Structure 1
Amino acid sequence: MPALTPQERFSRPAIVLHWAIFLLVALAYLAIELRGPKGSDSRVFWTATHFWAGCSVLALSIVRVAWRGYKSPPAPEAAAPILQLLSKASHVLLYVFIIVQPILGILCVNLAGHPVALAGLGSLTIVGPNHDLGKLVKEIHETLGNVFYWVIGLHALAALWHHFIKRDNILRRII
């Protein structure tokens, strides 16, 4: 396959932000799965890692959205209207997820009466305790986290389908 022109590729900052957010989301998921039993040193470490990764996702997501407003992505490749709709919808969902999910996580911790402790950066509190609301927000945060295992997986499968089956440039544009 021939090299892509700069107009066909995402900009270097967009590519770096995409993959950095991907790695941080993966780390947040890994940390929550590995955290261990309540009261253990493992849980303290992995919970702190989950908080740090989530807050980093939020910060980079804001930068990514700002960058997207400054530098438009390349024009979409020609595709059937249904594929264009699915692509647009999945990307909107992913953007909503990488912004809303960390905010919900911060709210979960704050509503439980705790600050979000970020190693080396201090702590973050946006709201005070409200245990009833906290339970609801925690349930939403966990449910969205589970739903997005699937959305992220489908996003990755679509990229691989484009690369290996359709043999188009969709995946190459973000690498």
Structure 2
Amino acid sequence: MLVSESATRSSSISASWSRLAIFFHWATALAIAIGLLAIEIRGPKGSASRVFWTGIHMWAGTIVLCLSVLRVLWMLWHGTPRELPHSRVQLFLARAVHLALYLLIFVQPLLGIAMVNTSGSAVQLAGTSVQLRLFAKDPVAHQFLHDAHFLIGNTAFWLIGLHALAAIVHHTVFKDATLTRMLKASKDD
């Protein structure tokens, strides 16, 4: 009897995320939370508080971007767990929100870098000599990028809240493994 390659592959796909995938998920979530908190409490322009918290915000964004690259590379190499059985509407919504979240974790830090650069400054990672300059000074682009970074940052609150709410609903209402498989790694990992 011949077994198709896709049947063999699907039988070897884990029901849960790997430990490293779980680490990337929660470390990214923590870095996003720190970045959002830092920008909300940074203080008035020119204050030492603003300089400190802006530095934390830039570090958080850099960490989000680095973790996101590693996360996608890991997913491409290791694969993802099989999808849980859900309706087509639930699968569509889940995929749409996940796509939006992946765009967020890549686009938002890059917008931040572009925004700082087009203001005429390099992104300076506090406590290091690392300076990142990818774009030239451009006041018109700077205002557009500032507005986009601000709008996407505010949208992130809602998107992350929707993602968390969906995980809780899956756990409490549908009583499926959507949440628990992001909390507990697969046994073969």
**Corresponding residue of 2:119:** 112
TM-score, length basis structure 1: 0.95
**Corresponding residue of 2:73:** 66
The 5 Å alignment of 1:24-173 reads: 24-121=31-128, 122-173=130-181
Q: How many residues align?
A: 170
SS of alignment partner, residue 129 of structure 1: coil
Alpha-carbon shift at residue 71 of structure 1 (Å): 1.2
TM-score, length basis structure 2: 0.88
Larger relative contact order (C-alpha < 8 A, sep ≥ 6)? Answer: 2
Identity %, equivalent residues: 44
- Structure 2: which 5+ runs fail to align? 1-12, 184-189
Q: Residues 142-169 of structure 1: CA distance to partner in whole angstroms, max 9, x if unpaired?
A: 0011112111100000001111121110
Alpha-carbon shift at residue 120 of structure 1 (Å): 3.5
SS of alignment partner, residue 161 of structure 1: helix
4+ aligned runs moved over 6 Å, structure 1: none
- Equivalent position amino acid for 1:102 in 2: P
Partner Cα distance (1:45, 1:29) in 2? 14
- Greater shift, 111-120 or 20-29, is seen at 111-120
**Corresponding residue of 1:3:** none
Partner Cα distance (1:98, 1:141) in 2? 12
Q: Residues 83-106 of structure 1: CA distance to partner in whole angstroms, max 9, x if unpaired?
A: 000001110110010000000000
Alpha-carbon shift at residue 25 of structure 1 (Å): 0.3
Alpha-carbon shift at residue 73 of structure 1 (Å): 1.0
- Structure 1: which 5+ runs fail to align? 1-5
- Greater shift, 88-97 or 113-122, is seen at 113-122
Partner Cα distance (2:112, 2:16) in 1? 33
Which of these residues, 26, 29, 54, is aligned with residue 22 of structure 1? 29
Partner Cα distance (1:134, 1:119) in 2? 22
Partner Cα distance (2:74, 2:45) in 1? 40
